[in-house]
Amino acid sequence: MVADRNNRCIRRIKLSTGDVTTVTKDVNFPYDVIGIDDKIYILEPTCIKVFDGSKVSVFAGSTSTSGYKDGALKDALFGQMFHFDYNPNDECLYVADYGNNVIRRIPLNLEVSSDFYANKTSAIVNQTVVLTSTSKNFQSLTWEIYPRVTPSKLVLH
């Protein structure tokens, strides 16, 4: 994939044949592009767009407003972005926001999952049970474990 900034489009180049095809023209001066799974993420100066194979939509930031604001993806503001990269270990984009002189971290998977497993499931009094979290995409977790007579309670933050 190539971000063709001056022609305002994303192009695919097939290296084996040299064929060039236009993927989408629904972009405005793209600077960088990354293909992840079945989606294409497109970096523009103040927003990140995503192409799902049929339509382009704003994933993060604003197409018309620059600034600096953290928060929900569509509420976030960026200064001037030129490059980004993807880290598959944490499923996040890392964006060089030159306008604000910072590196921004943008999670791609926003679905929170909470679960854990125990090294023992039938403990006796004063025996230690180790809980290991397999939860993902959370800022903090609070587990409250009660005796069997009371159901477990999970609080996500």
Number of domains in the chain: 2
Question: With 90 as the cut, is the pLDDT of residue 136 above it?
Answer: no
Query: pLDDT band for position 152 (50/70/90)?
Result: low
Say whether both 84 and 30 belong to one domain.
Answer: yes
Residues 28-66 as b/e (b if ≥16 CB within 10 A, e otherwise) read: eebebbbeeeeebbbbbbbbbbbbeeeebeebbbbeeeb
For position 44, which CATH number holds? 2.120.10.30
Say whether both 23 and 98 belong to one domain.
Answer: yes
pTM: 0.70
Say whether both 68 and 138 belong to one domain.
Answer: no
Query: pLDDT band for position 51 (50/70/90)?
Result: very high
Say whether both 34 and 80 belong to one domain.
Answer: yes
pLDDT digits (tens, 9 = 90+) for 57-96: 999 999 999 999 998 898 999 999 999 999 998 889 999 9
Across all residues in the chain, what is the average pLDDT?
Answer: 87
CA atoms of 93 and 76, how far apart (whole Å): 14
* Amino acid sitting at position 152: S
Say whether both 30 and 102 belong to one domain.
Answer: yes
Domain that holds residue 142: 111-157
More confident residue, 149 or 29: 29
Say whether both 56 and 124 belong to one domain.
Answer: no
CA atoms of 32 and 41, how far apart (whole Å): 8
Say whether both 93 and 146 belong to one domain.
Answer: no
Question: With 60 as the cut, is the pLDDT of residue 113 above it?
Answer: yes
